[in-house]
Amino acid sequence: MDRSRFRKSALAAIAAFCLVAACGAMPPPRSDTVFAAVPNGTTMDEVRERLGKPDEEMAFRGTRTVSWSYFYYDTWGFYAEESLTFDESGRLVGKFSKRVGYGGSGKT
C-alpha cells in the first residue's frame, strides 16, 4: 500500500472514531419528558451529564442559588425555557418551564 492510500485510510479511521465518540457524548434531545426525569437533589455534575451544558447560567447572591436555563421546543411545539435552580451545595432544588415569546404581549 502506498503512502497516499495509507494516509487516506488512516484519516478515514480517525474521522469515523471522532464521529462515534462525539455521538456518544451528546446529551439526549431536549424535551419535557427529559426534564421531568431529573429529580430534585440531583447534583450539577449529574445534570450536566444528562442534559449537557446549559444555554445560560445566572447566580443569585441573595438566595445563594444558581439557575441554569435550557431552551427547547416543548411537547406542543412552542419554544420554551426550562430553568433549573441549584442551592449552595450544588443540588437541584427547583425547576420550571415557560414558553418564550408567547402570550402576555397582547400581540398575535
Rounded mean pLDDT of 61-86? Answer: 96
Residue 107: which pLDDT band, with cuts at 50, 70 and 90? very low
Q: Give tens-digit pLDDT for 22-57.
A: 545 566 799 999 999 999 999 999 999 999 999 999
Q: For residue 74, count other CB atoms closer than 10 A to its CB.
A: 18
Q: Which residue has the higher pLDDT, 22 or 64?
A: 64
Q: Report the pLDDT value the prediction gives residue 54, as an integer from 0 to 100.
A: 97
> Distance between CA atoms of 73 and 38, rounded to whole angstroms?
18
Q: For residue 80, count other CB atoms closer than 10 A to its CB.
A: 21
Q: What angle do CA 13, 14, 18 make, to 5 degrees?
A: 120
Average pLDDT, the chain: 83
3-state secondary structure of 14: helix
Start-to-end C-alpha separation, the chain: 66
Q: Which fold has domain 28-99?
A: Beta-lactamase Inhibitory Protein; Chain:B, domain 1 (3.30.1450)
Please state the domain extents for the chain.
28-99
Q: Is residue 81 within 8 Å of residue 32, measured between CB atoms?
A: no
H/E stretch holding 58 reads strand 56-60
Q: What is the pTM of this model?
A: 0.70
pLDDT of 106 strictly over 50: no
